[in-house]
Amino acid sequence: MEKDLKSKTVAQLERLVTGLGQPKYLAGYIFSAIQSRGVTDISAITTLSKSFRAKLVEEGCYISKLEIVDKLTDPDGTVKYVFGLPDGGRIESVLLFDDDRRTLCVSTQVGCAMGCVFCATGRLGLARNLTAGEIVDQVNVVNQDIRTSGNQADKTNSSPDNLITCYPDTRNHISNVVFMGMGEPLANYDAVLDAVRILNNSAGRHIGIRHLTMSTCGLVEGIERLADEDIQPRLAISLNAPTDAIRQKLMPITKKYPLDRLFAAIGRYQRTTRNRVTFEYCLIKGINDTVLHAQMLVKRLRGVMCNVNLIEYNPHEGCNLKPSGRQAIERFAGVLKDAGIETIIRLKMGQTINAACGQLGSG
Ligand code: SF4
């Protein structure tokens, strides 16, 4: 049994406390102490009796805490947090600023087994899955950090060039979470879904379900499972190619789940949830970025309720792919827009600190 209380949803805490002969409502006290007030020591949950706190400790329960080991800020304001794990592993989260939104891109695994060729994390291989507590704590710790930074700014009225310290108090919290950092979230399904439940709960961070997005390289069984859940975060698909032949060169998972199978699962997800799906498309020079590729993509997306994010490939050491360039991206976007597909060209963010898409884990 998982002993880290930070990893537990309210329902799981209820099972724990009733199993120890205590009333169910105590689960709410534990949950809000950890997820809302940031308590990291069971003895500090003073809404519980001393004897019950002692019982929890006796049962081996504890509250985990991630430690920031490095924090890097790009001139565009993007911040990369590097966290150390108790077993020596490292994971990264990226904080992005967009008007009044504060989006945190969180990791779900240490490394990744999927091997997408444009992605630095893929080259690390998979070390292990993160627990729900480790996923959630990326949000808790960064949230605490930006609140502290914001307060410092109020006191010092520091440089307007520093986006971390100049935004007002109303923006001092994470509003959106994307499970798009290191790892494939649907390969760590249970922990990620528990993290969604924890982050969405009104006694904790209370991040709206439409502000929680799972991004997958296309694990079909996971998408189908998600379609049947009682809680439905938004779904993003890292697509990157209009045909199996091109996609296989970029994303080995295509051999197992060809596009027809992937789109059948997306269709099922949409019939059940009525949610729009976001397709992420990383443009790589000479591989997937021509007008013909765009036309094939339009054909592929016909009938799917969706929007497309175009991202220029972010170079990193050890990978000799080339970014498409602005002109090719705009031409590609034009074809999609002319076909009535909502398309956004994503600005490159966090490149100098290796925090952009596909760069995590590259140092
Ligand atoms: S793009 Fe995502 S799924 Fe692919 S290797 Fe990188 S982290 Fe893994």
User: Could you tell me the mean pLDDT of each successive run of 10 residues in the chain, 363 residues long?
Assistant: 93 98 98 96 97 97 96 93 95 91 96 93 92 98 87 38 39 90 97 98 95 97 96 96 97 97 97 96 95 98 96 83 93 98 87 73 68
Are the CB atoms for 120 and 361 separated by under 8 Å? yes
User: What is the token pair recorded at 324?
Assistant: 């498409």
3-state DSSP assignment of residue 326: helix
How far, in Å, is the centroid of ligand 1 from the Cα of 208? Answer: 25
* Per-residue pLDDT at 30: 98
Asked whether 114 lines ligand 1 (CB < 6 A), one says yes
Are the CB atoms for 122 and 116 separated by under 8 Å? yes
- Beta strands per DSSP E along 54-175: 67-73, 79-84, 90-98, 101-106, 109-111, 126-129
How far, in Å, is the centroid of ligand 1 from the Cα of 217? Answer: 7
* Per-residue pLDDT at 320: 86
Active centre residues (catalytic): 92, 357
User: What is the token pair recorded at 69?
Assistant: 């080991």
How far, in Å, is the centroid of ligand 1 from the Cα of 197? Answer: 23
| Ligand 1 atom at minimum distance from 181 CA | 7
| Ligand 1 atom at minimum distance from 115 CA | 5
Asked whether 121 lines ligand 1 (CB < 6 A), one says yes
**Which residue is closest in CA terms to ligand 1's atom 7?**
183
* Per-residue pLDDT at 362: 63
Asked whether 350 lines ligand 1 (CB < 6 A), one says no
Complete DSSP assignment for 214-236: EEES--HHHHHHHHT-SS--EEE
How far, in Å, is the centroid of ligand 1 from the Cα of 161? Answer: 33
* Per-residue pLDDT at 346: 87
| Ligand 1 atom at minimum distance from 119 CA | 6
Which of 130, 188, 238 maximizes ligand 1 atoms within 8 Å of its Cβ, making it the mutation to test the pocket?
Answer: 238
Asked whether 105 lines ligand 1 (CB < 6 A), one says no
How far, in Å, is the centroid of ligand 1 from the Cα of 183? Answer: 6
User: What is the token pair recorded at 112?
Assistant: 């990744």
| Ligand 1 atom at minimum distance from 109 CA | 7
**Which residue is closest in CA terms to ligand 1's atom 4?**
116
Q: Residue 80, CB half-sphere, CA atoms under 13 Å: how many?
A: 25
* Per-residue pLDDT at 151: 41
* Per-residue pLDDT at 153: 38
Rounded Cα–Cα distance for residues 38 and 32 (Å): 8
Does the predicted model carry a pTM greater than 0.75? yes
| Ligand 1 atom at minimum distance from 215 CA | 2
